[in-house]
Amino acid sequence: MKLKLKVWRQEDAQDKGGFQNYDVDGIDGDMSFLEMMDVLNNNLVNEGIDPVEFDHDCREGICGSCSLQINGEPHGPDRRITTCQLHMRKFKDGDEIVIEPFRATAFPVIKDLVIDRSAFDRIQHAGGYISVNTSGNTQDANSIPIEKQDADDSFYAATCIGCGACVAACKNASAMLFTSAKVSQFALLPQGEVEAHERVINMVNQMDAEGFGNCTNTGACYVECPKGISLENIARLNREYLSASVFS
Amino acid sequence: MAGISKTSIARKVAMALSGLFLVLFLAQHFTINFTSVVSPSTFNEISHFMGTNFVVQAILQPILIAGVVFHFVMGFILDIRNRKARSVSYAKFNGGANAPWVSRNMIISGIVVLAFLGLHFYDFWIPELIHKYVETHPDDPFRYYDETVAKFAGDPIRTGLYAFAFVFLMLHLLHGFGSSFQTMGVNNKYSGAINIFTKAFAIVIPMGFVFIAIFHYFNNL
């Protein structure tokens, strides 16, 4: 398969950046998108050109490192996958593929396709934890009965890998799906009740401080989320926030 | 509760509440207008009551105007903030792949409805104020039906503009009405029924207004 790539190149955060066109040949349909990027970079290195910087780590859909806006969609045209799980069979010989970094004011470009997603870390630091006494007589978490549905919902919320596709897909660059998942995974469990009010207020305040947009319930985040984090979490975040604002 | 009014969620909740208030007003307005189709005398009776009752005029009307102004101003504020959240746009953004047009373009449908409100005020509200407070005519409880019908009789452009605006109101409500429940934190076993109700409301009420305008146009050819 031969492809025409239109790739965003940017030297550093201060550089204005722009698109560069590259042709790649010999792409197999069974390759992952990142392997196609590896082929491109091998070609560029052989030609004495700086390779394209892009984030990647586990390459099995777990770590959330690989980002990339591919032909106008986060992680490309497929659903419930990350970029490393996108296969080249989704494209046809001769296709032009536009590859950009995730765009959000809160996700500044570091170089080429690599973005700074530490805004998510700071939201987590603001309240995405429970304080547990680890003095040696800590109660075993399994000794606290939890309803099956709550346990399941909490687990599904916790499957968020923080990739940022929700922000990238949202026309407002809103981080509500991410924040709601991180709030929900604790809000549904008794272990999370102690700091519930403080947690949601601090995390929402941090989310706003980072410069993410407002949620307008388009649902694009859910559609593009590789883990299918549900919009119910956003409604739960809204409830938790309103409750915390009134009662704390 | 310090600082709540400055957060994104608080602004969205305020937007949702003002929207739900306007939806209630819309239902009431439609009910009254529909009587003009079935019973001109009932329409005159209700319109006279609404136009002369102290509570309606001195309390409810200012609250309504405040609700309308707040909804539009907050809509523009949220839109500006949302645009700032993506300072560099995508070269290629396939928004239609993951969200419907109506949900992505609330500002466009809202601006059309706002422009329509200007026409609607020019047609009815401003003449009513002039009639009551500038020209100081004697009280006439039978004038409302004739005044309303006269706006559409023999005027296909005005009738068409009203129909066009109500199509955009329908698009605005198709997303906005249901979305307001999600913003208020409602997403549970009743959400399916709420979704059906809000979608039905979003279609029936604006199309009902279109029917009323067209009815009076053709009824007076």
**Interface residue ranges in chain B relative to chain A, Cβ cutoff 8 Å:** 1, 3-4, 6-13, 78, 81-82, 84-95, 97-100, 103-104, 106, 175, 179, 182-187
| 3-state SS, residue A100 | strand
Across the range A81-91, mean pLDDT stands at 98
What is the tens place of the pLDDT at every residue in A44-63? Answer: 999 999 999 999 999 999 99
pLDDT of residue B2: 46
pLDDT of residue A139: 81
What is the tens place of the pLDDT at every residue in B12-66? Answer: 999 999 999 999 999 999 999 999 999 999 999 999 999 999 999 999 999 999 9
Residue type, A234: I
Closest listed residue to residue A185, CA positions, set A127, A247, A132: A127
Contact B117, B109 (CB under 8 A): no
Measured distance CA(A90)–CA(A93) in Å, rounded: 10
pLDDT of residue B4: 52
Our measurement of the distance from residue A136's CA atom to the centroid of its chain's CA atoms, rounded to an integer in Å, reads 36
The complex scores an ipTM of 0.93
Q: How many domains does chain A have?
A: 2
Of A94, A111, A128, which marks where a domain is finished? A111
A115 in contact with B, Cβ within 8 Å: no
Residues A91 and A187 in one domain: no
Alpha helix (H) residue ranges in A2-126: 33-46, 118-125
pLDDT of residue A108: 98
Residue type, A127: G
Q: Which of B84, B97, B106 sits opposite A216 (nearest CB)?
A: B106
CB contact under 8 A, A220 and B4: no
Residues A234 and A185 in one domain: yes
Alpha helix (H) residue ranges in A13-138: 33-46, 118-125
Six-digit token string for A9: 């190149």
pLDDT at position B199 over 80: yes
Residues A125 and A147 in one domain: yes
**Number of other CB atoms surrounding residue B122 within 10 Å:** 10
Q: What is the DSSP letter of B89?
A: -
Measured distance CA(B58)–CA(B62) in Å, rounded: 7
Closest listed residue to residue A201, CA positions, set A125, A129, A127: A127
The CATH number linked to A154 is 1.10.1060.10
pLDDT of residue A205: 97
Residues A154 and A83 in one domain: no
pLDDT at position A153 over 80: yes
What is the tens place of the pLDDT at every residue in B52-104? Answer: 999 999 999 999 999 999 999 999 999 999 999 999 999 999 999 999 999 99
Residues A221 and A166 in one domain: yes
A231 in contact with B, Cβ within 8 Å: yes
What is the tens place of the pLDDT at every residue in B137-166? Answer: 888 999 999 999 999 999 999 999 999 999
Higher pLDDT, B221 or A192: A192
| Domain that residue A14 falls in | 3-111
A171 in contact with B, Cβ within 8 Å: yes
Average pLDDT, whole number, for chain A?
96
Which pTM was predicted? 0.95
Q: Which of A73, A104, A238 sits opposite B85 (nearest CB)?
A: A104
Burial of A178 (0-12, 13-18, 19+ CB in 10 A): buried
CB contact under 8 A, A224 and B91: no
CB contact under 8 A, A224 and B8: no
pLDDT of residue A248: 78
**Number of other CB atoms surrounding residue A129 within 10 Å:** 13
Of A57, A78, A111, which marks where a domain is finished? A111
pLDDT of residue B136: 81
Of A79, A111, A143, which marks where a domain is finished? A111
> A72 contacts in B (CB within 8 Å)?
90, 92-95, 97
Cα Rg of chain B (Å, integer): 20
Measured distance CA(B120)–CA(A60) in Å, rounded: 58
Lowest model confidence (mean pLDDT) among A240-244, B134-138, B217-221:
B134-138
CB contact under 8 A, B91 and A19: yes
> A98 contacts in B (CB within 8 Å)?
91-92
Domain ranges of chain B: 7-83+104-219
pLDDT of residue A89: 98
CB contact under 8 A, B185 and A238: yes
> A228 contacts in B (CB within 8 Å)?
none
> B173 contacts in A (CB within 8 Å)?
none
- How sure is the predictor about B6, in pLDDT bands with cuts at 50, 70 and 90? confident
The CATH number linked to A92 is 3.10.20.30
